[in-house]
Amino acid sequence: MPSNKDRRPANNPATRIGYGFDSHEFRSGIPLKIGGISLAHDKGLGGHSDGDVLLHAVTDALLGAVAAPDIGALFPPSDSRWKGADSAVFLREALKRVREAGYGVANMDASLILSAPKIGPHSAAIRERIAQLLGVGVDCVGLKAKTPEGLNLENAAIAHVVVLLEKRSSPKKPRKKNE
């Protein structure tokens, strides 16, 4: 049993983990963007923004790690500002909140589930773009792509993401509830 003096305050642990999930439906005639990269395909992912399922899951993982409001609360689909928005905007805001809380990203890992297009040829570009957005080395961004075997989800793209944060500095003044 650790003594009380070994315990860090609950709001200031040395590391924090975050988990994000998202899914979007494929629709014909719209561009496909995954992980900040445009992919040639006959369908894109529907959604109010650019539909980037992977960047949305990364954003929610970052927000969750610092117990901030989630992507839907911060960027509601009802707000016309986010119509067609580049999802990098959401990720950057989440990262700002991570830094304000006194943390930086140690690494992240993602599983992407979709039947097409094949992600393998684009994996390096996606990892590089996400590493650039997160300010980490590309060796700190994991990406696995799976096909939805037995899930009957041929028309969906699904992303699961975990991030590990490490304490870098003292937190700035906390935001008000739901700010």
What is the binding site for Mg ion (CB under 5 A)?
22, 56
At its nearest, how many Å lie between Mg ion and the CB of residue 57? 8
Nearer to Mg ion, 24 or 103 (CB): 24
Give, in order, the Cα–Cα distances in Å from 134 to each of 10, 20, 104: 25, 15, 9
d(CA 96, CA 103): 10
At its nearest, how many Å lie between Mg ion and the CB of residue 176? 26
Nearer to Mg ion, 45 or 134 (CB): 45
Task: Cis check for the bond before 117: say yes or no (omega within 30 of 0).
Answer: yes
Residue nearest to Mg ion (CB): 56
Nearer to Mg ion, 131 or 157 (CB): 157
State phi, psi for 140 to the nearest 5 degrees: -105, 10
At its nearest, how many Å lie between Mg ion and the CB of residue 81? 16
At its nearest, how many Å lie between Mg ion and the CB of residue 9? 33
Question: What is 117-136 written as a DSSP string?
Answer: S-SGGGHHHHHHHHHHHHTS
Nearer to Mg ion, 56 or 122 (CB): 56
